[in-house]
Each structure stands twice: as structure tokens, then as C-alpha cells.
Amino acid sequence: MRQGARFLALFLLGVLGAAGQYAQAATYNVDCDKNEHIGKALRVLASANPQGPNTINVTGVCRGNFVIQSMDRLTLITKNGASLTDRSGGTLPVVDIEDSQKVTLQGFTINGGGERGVVCSTASICYLTGNTIQGPGSFGVNVGNGARAFFESNVIQNWGRGSFISGGAQVFSSNDVFQGNSGSAIVVLGAIFDSFNSTFDHNGVGIDAGGGGLGITGGSVSNNSFEGIRLLGNVSAGFGGPTITGNGGVVSTWKTALSPASLLPASRATLAWT
């Protein structure tokens, strides 16, 4: 019996050692065109190694709504232009990141279907790099509840609002393009948005900000149908040489460009640039 117990203990130590080695890093290859599933890879990694680092290499046309919750150091990447497309009929975000640290989405075309493209929430840290995030839908990227997001070289287009940032969130944008959004390219409410060399052109409104902080360095806010930049009450703003030109200017029905209107009452408007 003692010999058997000793053998079992040694066996378990070997299994745990192998598991510990696996937990150092894991890489999955998912080809959606071969009926492989990102959701399955996420479930396996969430169970076996939620703290990462983990990488999922994706190819093909992927349909689904993907939840990343309580996972750290996770990278979803494509080198061949894979796409992620809503399968919920417009009721769910395409990618929903919650309570997760250092999650990266890189190189995807993300197609919304009526809801949101990407959500980064619940104190998550998210990196969006080189993606095209396109509607139709409400918000291209929704960042809130204390999350931090880093945007780099993305195109965010054809949404109601390109990005909605609230709830103490912080977003840093570099070399991004926000275009063709029917409402605002960016809405910042009680949050911080800082951009370097990003463009907010050909939207309904360029930027709406209130109750937080706004910094725009370089880039452009141009040729929007209504105002280029609207600053609401209790906002701190700094500008370092952006081009602000060719915007439609103040109109009597400006409240309709902001939804829900109760969050952005006209009485709080303090300054608008065209």
C-alpha cells in the first residue's frame, strides 16, 4: 500500500509539474473556415490557464459573440485579416472583455450587427491594435466602469457613435481613424480621452466631452456634419495643434445628435468648435 501511495504521489507531482509548465504559455491556432471555434479555445484557456500568457492565432471568417472574463495576458491576433462577425442578431457585443488584464485584439475586421463592436469594462486593460471595427450598431467601442484601453492604428466606422467612454474609464488613442459615424466619433462622459495624431473626420459630430478630461494632440477634427468639438460642463480640455476645420457648426437641433439626450442636456453645453 505504501509503495502504491508513493507511486501515486510521484505521478501526481509529474502531472502538476507538466501543468505548471503548460501554464507558463499556451498558443492556440483557430481556423474558423475549418469549423474551429474561438469560443472553445477561450473556454479551455479560462479553465487551464486564466492568468496567461496565452495567444490565439485566428484565421478565416468567424461568427459569434465572444466573452473574455477574468483572463489576463491574452492575445487574439490574426496575420491574414480574419473577421469576427456578430451572430446574435444585434443583441450582444461581438467581443466583450470584463475583469481582464492585458487583453489584446490585433488585426481583425470586427463587424457589428446592431449592438456594440467591442466592450472593455469592469476595470479591464485592453489593447486594440490595427483593427477595422465597423457597424452598423450603437457603439463601435464601449469603454467603461474603470477600464483602461489603448487604441493604436484602428479604423472605427459606420456606427451610431464610434466610441462611448464613461464611468471613470481612460482611453489613449494613437493614429486611429474615426469616420462615417452618424452621431459622434467619440463621446466622453466622466472619463478621460487622450489622442495623438488620430483623425475624427466625416462623422455627425467630431468629439463630445463632459465631466472628465480631453486631450487632442495633432490629427484632425474635420468635415463633420455638425460641430467639430463640443465641450460640456465640468470638462478639462487641452489641445496641441489638431486641425479643426470644415465642420458644420452649431445648429438649433444639436441635442438630437446625442443619445440619450438626458445624459447630455443642452443646459450644460459651454463651448463648441467648428
Domain membership of residue 187 (yes or no) is yes
Domain membership of residue 128 (yes or no) is no
Domain membership of residue 145 (yes or no) is no
Domain membership of residue 237 (yes or no) is yes
Contact indicator for 270, 228 with CB cutoff of 8 Å = no
CA distance 38 to 196: 33
Domain membership of residue 188 (yes or no) is yes
Domain count, the chain: 1
**What pLDDT shows up at residue 114?**
86
Question: If you search the block for the grid coordinates 466583450, which residue do you land on?
Answer: 96
Residues in the chain where the model's pLDDT stays below 50: 1-22, 251-270
Question: If you search the block for the grid coordinates 443642452, which residue do you land on?
Answer: 266
Domain membership of residue 131 (yes or no) is no
**CB count, 10 Å around CB of 76?**
25
Domain membership of residue 79 (yes or no) is no
CA Rg value for the chain: 22
Domain membership of residue 207 (yes or no) is yes
Annotate 4-13 with b (16+ C-beta within 10 A) or e (fewer).
Answer: eeeeeeeeee
Q: Chain-centre distance of CA 60, in angstroms?
A: 21
Q: Bin 66: left if φ > 0, else alpha if -120 < ψ < 50, else beta.
A: beta
Question: If you search the block for the grid coordinates 441635442, which residue do you land on?
Answer: 255
State which residues form the domain around 188: 160-274
**What pLDDT shows up at residue 233?**
85
Instruction: Please report, to the nearest 10 degrees, the dihedral formed by the alpha carbons of residues 199, 201, 205, 206 taken in order.
Output: 20
